[in-house]
Amino acid sequence: MPPIALILFGSPGSGKGTQSRLVRDRCLPGPHISTGDMLRAHIEAGDEIGIEVQCLMKSGHLVPDDLVNRLVEQRLKQPDTRNGVILDGYPRTVAQASETRRVLALGGLLPVVLHLVVDYDRIVARLSGRRQCPVCGTLYSLSTNPPKVPGVCDLDGATLVTREDDREEVIRERLGEYDRQTRPILEFFSRVGVKVAEVNGADADPATISQRICANLESFRSQQAQG
- Tell me, yes or no, whether 83 lies in a domain: yes
* CATH number, domain with residue 185: 3.40.50.300
Edge-first strand order for the sheet with 85-88 is: 32-34, 85-88, 4-10, 110-117, 195-200
Q: How confident is the model at residue 50, as a pLDDT?
A: 87
- Tell me, yes or no, whether 9 lies in a domain: yes
Positions marked active-site: 16, 92, 130, 163, 174
- Tell me, yes or no, whether 202 lies in a domain: yes
| Alpha carbon distances (Å) from 114 to 16, 62, 109, 209, 222 | 10, 25, 16, 12, 17
- How many degrees, rounded to 5, is the angle at CA 10 between CA 94 and CA 208? 140
- Tell me, yes or no, whether 155 lies in a domain: no
- Tell me, yes or no, whether 106 lies in a domain: yes
**Domain that residue 53 falls in:** 4-119+180-225
- Tell me, yes or no, whether 174 lies in a domain: no
- Tell me, yes or no, whether 145 lies in a domain: no
Global confidence as pTM: 0.82
- Tell me, yes or no, whether 136 lies in a domain: no
* Each residue's pLDDT expressed in tens, for the chain with a length of 227 residues: 789 999 999 988 888 888 998 999 999 988 999 888 888 888 889 888 888 888 887 777 778 888 888 889 889 989 999 889 999 889 989 999 999 999 999 889 999 999 999 889 988 888 888 999 999 989 898 888 899 999 999 999 999 999 888 889 988 998 998 999 999 999 999 999 999 999 998 788 899 999 999 999 998 888 887 76
Total number of domains constituting the chain: 1
